Amino acid sequence: MKPDSTLAELPVAAPTKLVASIVAKQGCYHGNVTTDVQFSWIIRPVDETSCNGFDFNAGELRRADLKPFGDYPFAVAMANQVPHRKTVLFVWRRHRKHEGAVIYGATLTDMKGNILDRRVRGYTRFGRATVRYLEHAAGLKIAASPASGQAGPH
């Protein structure tokens, strides 16, 4: 899992006035959130089997957490790289009236907001800038590598 390292080098500026105005009105947050530009959810580990006093089979709670991401298979694939960790999965998108959703990309973080992986749809400079801007607005960061202690993706 390696986030696109070029994103860390981009200046954090709003790529469009529309995205900036949506973020200013609705914000971006870490956790279970749905706004016009963000859909994110806490994804439980496959071995977590208890919820609200009820017991479930291994993987059932995780499948339930990932079900709303069915339209975003690339995001589900990111989450499935770390099945034994509790994570937060983000899909960055915007809805257009007559065209449906415009998907900018997805980000996977640990529970502290450290970026574990990211995918940018279309790999355009605009897409990278938009994802980086939204990650910054949500307070996400590239984690320090545990081995080196230097900033950088895992």
3-state secondary structure the chain: CCCCCHHHHCCCCCCCHHHHHHHHHHCCCCCCEECCCEEEEEECCCCCCEECCEECCCCHHHHHHHHHHCCCHHHHHHHCCCCCCCEEEEEEEEEECCCEEEEEEEEEECCCCEEEEEEECCCCHHHHHHHHHHHHHCCCEECECCCCCCECCC
Predicted confidence at residue 148, as pLDDT, reads 36
Residue 123 vs residues 35, 65, 129: alpha-carbon distances, Å? 23, 27, 10
State how far the Cα of 61 lies from the Cα of 94, in Å rounded to an integer.
28
Contact status, residue 28 vs residue 21, Cβ threshold 8 Å: no
Query: How many other C-beta atoms lie within 10 A of the C-beta of residue 139?
Result: 11
The residue type found at 10 is: L
Other C-beta atoms lying within 10 Å of the C-beta of residue 77:
14
- Asked if residue 105 lies in contact with residue 38, where contact means CB atoms within 8 angstroms, the answer is no
What is the structure's pLDDT at 33? 93
pLDDT in tens, the chain (154 residues): 444 444 444 446 677 788 888 888 888 899 999 998 999 999 999 999 999 999 999 999 999 999 999 999 999 999 999 999 999 999 999 877 777 788 999 999 999 999 999 999 876 788 888 899 999 999 999 865 444 343 444 3
CA gap 127, 123 in Å, rounded: 6
One-letter identity of residue 69:
F
